[in-house]
Structures are given as C-alpha cells and as structure tokens.
Amino acid sequence: MLEGIKVVEYATYMAAPGAGSILSDWGADVVKIEPPGGDPIRLFFKTIGTDIADNPVFDFDNRGKKSIVVDTSKPKGQELVRKLVADADVFLTNVRPGGLERSGLDYDSLKEINPKLVYCSLTGYGLQGPDANRPGFDIASFWSRTGVARLTVPKGEDLFALRTAFGDHTTSMSAAAGICAALVEAGRTGKGRLVEASLFRAGLYALGSDFAIQLFFDRVASTKTRHEQNVPITNFFETKDGSWICLVSRQGEVDWGPICRAIGREELIEDERFTSAKARRKNKAEVVDILDEGFGKFDKAEMAKRLDAESLAWAPVQTLAEVAKDPQAIAAGAIVQTPSAKGDGSTYASPASPVRFPGADDGPKGPSPALGQHTADVLGGLGLSAETIKSLYSDGIVY
C-alpha cells in the first residue's frame, strides 16, 4: 500500500519506531537514523543478562528497516539528515522539540527543504504547553498522567504498572494513522504538514468513553470488584478446571434467561430478584455468587459449549502462552513470521501489524537491521562519493 513512500525515522525506544515498523510492513522504505551506540532497545535483553542474536522486542519495532548511524550532535551529521529529508515523504521523530530546534531539524526548518514532507512528531505530551519538552515514557505519560492507572485499579487497591510498551504501541497505531492521512492530503495538494502524536493524547483517547463521561458529568464511576459490578452478569467467572471466562451481556433483558439455562439454573429465569437489570443491580453480590457456583460446575470446554448453545457473548481469559496457540490468532493473521537477524534465512513468530489488507503483502519486509548496516549504501544513494563517505567515517560523523 505504501510502496514508493520514503520514511526517514529519527527515533529510539518504541512508540515512534513502532509506527515506523507499521509503515514498513505496509511497504514503505524506512531508513532508521540511530545515534552512536544505537537505539537503547538493542540492549533490551543484554540489560537483563541475556545475549541472543535475535531480539524480539527490538525486531518487532524495527523489522524491514535500514539502519544508518549518524552523530547528529555535529553540524555535518545534521546536514546529512537534511540531505536525507530532501526527497523523503515522511520524517518521523520522537526527539523533544527543543533538541530538534537547536539542531535545525524542527518542522519549520525541514519544510523549507521539502514542502511536501509529512513531519510526524511523537512526544510524551505534545508540542505546546508547559510540558512540551518534558521526557515522556508510556508508564508516565500514557498510563499515569491520563488517569488510566488510577481508573483501572479497583478502589482501595494498589497501583500497578502497565505491560511492556502497551501505551507505546497504542500511540504507534495513532501515529501511523495520522501519517497516512497526511500522505493522502500531500498527494492531493502537493503540500505536507506537521502531524503531532503524543503518548498523553493517545492515552486520553484510549480512555475516551470514560473521559467523555467525566467531562460531561464532572464525575466518573470507579472500577469495581467482581461482586460490586453494576451489571453483574457482565463479569468474569471461573470454571471447574481453574479457567476464567469473560461473559458479556447485551443491552436490555435478553440474556438473563440464556445465562440461567447455560449454568443449569432455569428456575431463576422468572425469579423477581433477578428478572430486570435494576433488580440484578440491587442484588448484584448474590447474582455473582450464583453465577460463580454455576460456572464452577463445568470445565472450560463444557462451559464453552453451553454458552455457545445459548448464543451468548463470551471469551476465554487467556494467557499469552494460550494466545500463541489460539487458532483464531493464526486465522486472523495476528502472528507473522519475521526473518531472523542472524541472516541464515530462518524466521520466527512475531506479532503482526494492527490492520490486515487481504490479498496484499502486509507483513514484515525483512529482518531488523544490524547497527549501521546500511550507512554506506544510504549515503551512496544520496550521491556522495566513496571518498566523501570514507571521510565521514574517519571524522566520526557516521558509523
């Protein structure tokens, strides 16, 4: 879909490189500019004492890209970035605004070189306001400051951290979407634009329904424990073999009878304590106890059959080990084979990009690059002579 689109990625860690990985999977040519020493995520496993050729965390966000190493603290390094941008379609960065302005790599500077450039800035908090230059990580900007961390935890329980790069990759999706929208506009008008993505704004959108309630009513309900749910039949229940099932009831009163039949308690269908949503809310703790007992009589496989027989909406609460073997994950294209960085032609399973394009090549276009693997080739593509490239290496401008 993005074949012929040139992306210059000047970014480290996960959120912005994740967006670059999505664009690469969709066909864009992505050149990743790394600092001397490389993207810190290259050290993700070495930091915990594991030394492996393939780094599934780094590879996920950087497969199919070209890596060049440029010291952008030096004027000659900054000039190389500007040369790369001159014929690029997209510039993607997570460098804070102040640093970009000091090095002449901010939007206003680069659009003078390339008016059609789509310039995507992905930061912690956006490009304006008192915290525009504050460092941003997903556990802080996406999870904590947005209110997600507090609202997720039932009242009175301790806070907990989000999983690795969860907020980063949610923001990656929003940034990739924004870039694609701006590319459509640039194709129509011949003019690029600034695309501003942030962990903070993506977190607020991800929590958008609750945030909308807060903004409208000036209050929002806290997260409840299982026995305190206002809709107790939309809940989690444990089966006899220790598996958990998420049960989801539809609007209105259509599901109480089917649920009673599924757990073998038909006599409760007309019980006035439970026949309406209002009554079930009043007796919510008792409803949960009844369903706990009902689900506890059957193992997961049998409970699944009984729920399906009643056309109820449900899902197993799975571990990632179970998801990795879930036939629906395979059928949906959610797992793809990524070429190994070892270069021996082998592949390994990795998460797919978030959107499928049936019939198109929408998967990994190659392995993640070795640090600086493509520096000389990319510089040669800019028209620099072999002698000039050799000089840039010897002067420590590139690696």
What does the pLDDT look like over 182-214, one tens digit per residue?
Answer: 999 999 999 999 999 999 999 999 999 999 999
User: What does the pLDDT read at residue 186?
Assistant: 98
CB 69 within 8 A of CB 81: no
Over 80: is that where the pLDDT of 158 sits? Answer: yes
Structure confidence by residue, pLDDT tens digits, 35-68: 999 999 999 987 676 667 789 999 999 999 999 9
Residue spans of the domains in the chain: they are 6-209+330-395, 226-317
Q: What is the residue type of 399? A: Y
The model's confidence at residue 174, banded by pLDDT at 50, 70 and 90, is very high
Arithmetic mean of pLDDT, 368-390: 97
Strand 335-339 relative to strand 347-351: parallel, antiparallel, unpaired? antiparallel
Q: Residue 320 region, left (φ>0) first, then alpha (ψ -120 to 50), else beta?
A: alpha
Contact of 63 with 367, CB cutoff 8 Å: yes
- Rounded to whole angstroms, the Cα distance separating 370 from 53 reads 10
Q: What's the average model confidence in pLDDT over 227-240?
A: 97
| pLDDT tens track for 238-263 | 999 999 999 999 988 899 999 999 99
* Percentage above 70 pLDDT, the chain: 99
- Measured between alpha carbons, how far apart are the two ends of the chain, in Å? 32
Confidence category of residue 392, pLDDT binned at 50, 70, 90: very high
CATH classification number, 6-209+330-395, choose in 3.10.20.30, 3.40.50.10540, 3.20.10.10, 2.40.50.140: 3.40.50.10540
Helix, strand, coil % (nearest 5) of the chain?
Answer: 40, 15, 45
Model confidence, pTM: 0.95
Q: Which residue type is seen at 31?
A: V
Q: How many whole angstroms separate alpha carbon 281 and alpha carbon 299? A: 27
Options 3.40.1640.10, 3.50.50.60, 3.40.50.1820, 3.30.1540.10; CATH of 226-317: 3.30.1540.10
pLDDT for position 46: 78
What pLDDT sits at residue 385?
Answer: 97
Neighbours of 390 (CB within 10 A): 12
